[in-house]
Structure 1
Amino acid sequence: MAFEDSDLTAVSPDAATAKILIAGGFGVGKTTLVGTISETEPLRTEELITEVSVGVDDLAGVERKTTTTVAMDFGRITLSPALVVYLFGAPGQDRFWFMWDDLSRGALGAVVLADTRRLDSCFPSVDFFEHRGIPFAVGVNCFDGYCDEDPEDIRAALDLPPEVPLVLCDARDRESVKRVLLALLEHVMRGLAAEASADRQPV
């Protein structure tokens, strides 16, 4: 599957659209990922972290974080003149999880962004998509540009089925984010092909 930078003027008015959710724990890099890959200026709903967050949001490991997403991030990618993908970044704090059902409605798939320093923060996202049957890929955000954890150890810790893609990435790097999204789209296509094949089997 190709994933080229596109000319917005080449998009067909009849282009199909798809929705991908970007999820994960608080401070894992979801806003950064959407901003890195979006071909348009992303819509952000960030607010300053204030004293009100003390005792409510877990800032362990992200002490330097000064803002937080309170609704969603929104970006757009044109994969071809016939297909436009919209990215919806979900808020990571548990007090905003009530929004996830609405955000995930109609989603083609999802990316769960993980931070190996706080791997347990992405468990709720993995559970959410597994229970709803929404295909997802895991992107392990390498904050220092590298990851000293074995990907298979991360997969085992998250108890991921072998078919779920797990990709090391840097949410600040466009090519790296592309690889995560491509892994998800290929995973979705394999699932759709398997369903179509099963439907063709004689009863």
Structure 2
Amino acid sequence: MHNNKGDKHERYRRMVKCQKSFYSDNQNKGTCMKLSRTFALADIVLRAHILNPLWWSRDKRREHRCNVAATAIPRYMARYVPAAGTVPEVRPIHNDKREKIWTLWLQGEDKAPELVKACFRSIRANCKQELVVLDENTIWDYITLPPEIVAKRKAGQIKHAHFADICRVELLYEHGGIWLDSTGFATAPIPDEIINQDFFVYMAG
């Protein structure tokens, strides 16, 4: 014979034991994650900022910070998000060239409306960085896009504005520098407060 009352108590005790074990394991995991996150942040602060010589140029210090983050963050993520280990490693940035201002007019600068040409003139007159105006042909001298994007572009599935958005991200990733829309009008040099940022973006409207 089975004692149903005793069985219920035994099942209850087992359930409570399992719950305690579950919460204990999760608390331990949470504590480990917090410690690991703290060590990862400390590693980034130490190598990217404290061990980043002040006598280096601004560009070299920025490059050093980016390269430290590019190696430290994926290592941390891979511990807790296994899929993160399948993401290609971000290659270090090596950009010793003088920063450029990039813009895009697909039909070519000579065929741009007078308003756009006036914006280009204002940038060249007021900004110390070189302005590079790319078009439908010259853009490929600087970037490489996935075949799927190129095919959709040729098929007319990606419009001009969307294509320019894709190009600007790839340009800045590959070469660094500054992106200005073709209708951006400059009345003064770009402030150092903006230039000295690792990343800066603004939105108007």
TM-score, length of structure 2 as denominator length: 0.27
Structure number with larger C-alpha Rg: 2
Greater relative CO (CA pairs within 8 A, separation 6+): 1
TM-score, length of structure 1 as denominator length: 0.28
Higher helix share: 2
Higher strand share: 1
